[in-house]
Amino acid sequence: MSSLLFALAVLEPSEPREIAWPGPDGAALPEAGGTIAVERCDGTRTVVRTEPTGCARWKIEWSVGGKIWGVSSASGQAAVVKERERLLGYARQSARLFDVPLDARWSSPTAPLCDACDPMKSDEPAGVPAPETPGPDAATQTAWLDARVALSRFETNVLDVHAQRVRDIARLAHEPATARLAKAYAKQLDAAVVDAVHLQLALDNAAVFRSISEITHVQRSIESRAKALEAAAAALTAVVAKAAAKVHAGRYADESITDVNRPQLVVAFNGDKVTATLVVGEAESQWFEGNVALDGAIVGRSLVAPEGTALTCNGHTLECGYVWAPAMLRFADREAPRGKQHLVELWFQQSKWVHAKPFAR
């Protein structure tokens, strides 16, 4: 398990597949500088050769066996293409790293579509009077908007945080000490990526049906999946953090000073949370706070003196002018006359990455 803390296997991404995105008539549809399909509320799709206007959003539909099972959407064409590529990239990489076939649900996305239908309004042809049907009530509209925000946050967390860990998860799935928890996390992550797409379709349908109960069901599904995903992540991280604490926790001394009260750096772990505190006699000052990552790295922030700005007092505090900067703790072993020593360095980022002098034990 200690090997997990110092090395990350180099895993190159697989080559992207060449995909011809189907147009409304089944032909390939250029994504830029060519024809674009505009979809109305009645499901008709019109091909246009200029930049469409009146798009409520841009979307991509995901289907398997001819059945649409999910939707990805964004405010612009470039944004929805980026979303599609992120989902396809995750699906390809996960399949390769876990040595399983690519999930068929990701194999048939449509080209980006200009969706001209506001899901909370009807789209009547020009010159045809709108039917006397009531619009959605305020409670339904509020619930739908809240669910959209929750789904957007959920999707961002899944793709920007959890999906970025897929290489570490796959590596830990091959380590005996972490295999079970890593596979459980991978399973929850796969389900969360699918839910991010499937629940968008469910929310679209709930808007059409003006169904507050279905909107509420989407909300609850988001909360349930998010909770399960975070729990799986926390369980795996706890094992990695425990191994890191066993190797790195403790007191490190400033070797350049021989006085009995020479400065010491105390590295402490509380679960996956890590602090490094400088102790000089009875005085203490926290240098670092952060977390253990799945690759064993310890990253966070440090309170440092700003570049080019004078401090207002002697205390190591924000009030005296110190600022938070991205930081990390780095560890190494070295041979010494009295045996092997374990070193710790605090690195922090200002105009460039710099480090404080090492402490040893």
Q: Which of 216, 52, 73 is nearest to 140 (CA)?
A: 216
Instruction: Give residue-wise pLDDT tens across range 264-274.
Output: 999 999 999 99
Instruction: Give residue-wise pLDDT tens across range 134-179.
Output: 567 899 999 999 999 999 999 999 999 999 999 999 999 999 999 9
Yes or no: say if 96 and 88 are a contact pair by the CB < 8 Å rule.
Answer: no
CA–CA dist 198, 60 (Å, integer) = 12
Weakest-pLDDT range from 114-118, 123-127, 338-342: 123-127
The domain ranges of the chain are 13-125, 136-248, 249-360
What pLDDT does residue 50 have? 87
DSSP 113: E
For residue 329, pLDDT beyond 60? yes
Q: What is the pTM of this model?
A: 0.82
Mean pLDDT of 118-135: 57
CA atoms within 13 Å, Cβ hemisphere of 85: 10
Question: Other CB atoms closer than 10 Å to residue 100's CB: what's the count?
Answer: 10
- The percent of residues in the chain predicted with pLDDT above 90, rounded, is 72
Weakest-pLDDT range from 43-57, 91-105, 227-241: 43-57
What pLDDT does residue 47 have? 92
- The percent of residues in the chain predicted with pLDDT above 70, rounded, is 86
Instruction: Give residue-wise pLDDT tens across range 191-219.
Output: 999 999 999 999 999 999 999 999 999 99
For residue 130, pLDDT beyond 80? no
Higher pLDDT, 318 or 27: 318
For residue 333, pLDDT beyond 90? yes
For residue 250, pLDDT beyond 60? yes
Q: To the nearest whole number, what is the mean pLDDT of the chain?
A: 87
Q: Name the pairing type of β-strands 264-270 and 57-64.
A: unpaired
For residue 109, pLDDT beyond 80? yes
CA–CA dist 115, 23 (Å, integer) = 14
What pLDDT does residue 135 have? 62
For residue 129, pLDDT beyond 90? no
For residue 28, pLDDT beyond 70? no
What pLDDT does residue 5 have? 44
In the chain, helix, strand, coil percent, each to 5? 35, 25, 35
Instruction: Give residue-wise pLDDT tens across range 30-72.
Output: 444 457 899 998 899 999 988 898 999 999 999 999 999 999 9
Yes or no: say if 288 and 304 are a contact pair by the CB < 8 Å rule.
Answer: no
What pLDDT does residue 6 have? 36
